[in-house]
A = this chain, B = another copy of it.
Amino acid sequence: MVHNDIQTLFAESLNELKLTEKQKAVLNASLKLFSEKGFDRTSTSDIAQLAGVSEGTVYKQFKTKEGILTAIIGPFIQQVMPKAATEFTNEVTHTSYPSFGEFLHAIIKDRMVFALNSMPQLRIILHEVITNQAIATGFSHLFENLIVGPLGQTLKHYQEEKQLVDWPLDRIIRYVATTVMGYVLPAALLHGSVDIEHASREATEFLLKGLKPA
């Protein structure tokens, strides 16, 4: 079983930080409001009301409003995203998928499920990444780590077996990532739904052609 349940992972990372019930209530309320209205259009009194606590309690748990934001997307970026990525590629490698096509389909489906399950967090990050330079650079580091990590090793293996075109890995990952985004982003912004089964098969078909060895 692949670890693509982001909510479970998110909850785990919260437990690691030993959060109280009230803190979790504040965090969950903030997650909902930030992703719906954006950080700036969400007031701390809104958060307190939805969390069912007083505004004073909010500020007992978190020093500033910005602190709530980093408490949400910080662990998500630093732990959950790379964790989900590496745990995936540790289980699903060329040993379990001798065919690159099946591997590609598995990883695309996994990433689609991941993205659609963590829409609120991704919407917040999408909002912040434009104005917050630190978050943007954090993302680029994440992609660099993907290349030198288990995913990169697996892709190299398929290249050696002549199942995958001999291009630099960052180029290959770029195409896979953007193709998946092409299916997920519109649905996320228009609040639509995605037929993951159909979308992942379409995306795989296209990428397999585009990434076939010469």
Question: What residues of chain A have their CB less than 8 Å away from a CB belonging to chain B?
Answer: 36-38, 40-41, 123, 126-127, 129-131, 133, 136-137, 139-140, 171, 174-175, 177-179, 181-183, 186, 189-191, 202, 206-207, 209-212
B182 to A177, Cβ gap below 8 A? Answer: yes
Q: Is the CB of B178 within 8 A of A129?
A: no
User: How far, in angstroms, from A114 to B13 measured CA to CA in the complex?
Assistant: 42
Chain A facing B: main interface SS: helix
> Are B175 and A206 touching (Cβ within 8 A)?
yes
Number of copies: 2
Query: Which of A123, A137, A190 has most B Cβ within 10 Å?
Result: A190
Q: Which of B130, B178, B190, B210 contacts A181 (CB 8 A)?
A: B178
Given the complex, which residues of B lie within 8 Å of A191, measured CB to CB? 133
Nearest Cβ on chain B to A48's Cβ, whole angstroms: 20
Q: List 7 A-B contacts (CB under 8 A).
A: A126-B126, A127-B130, A136-B190, A140-B186, A174-B182, A179-B179, A209-B212
CA distance A214 to B41 in the complex (A): 50
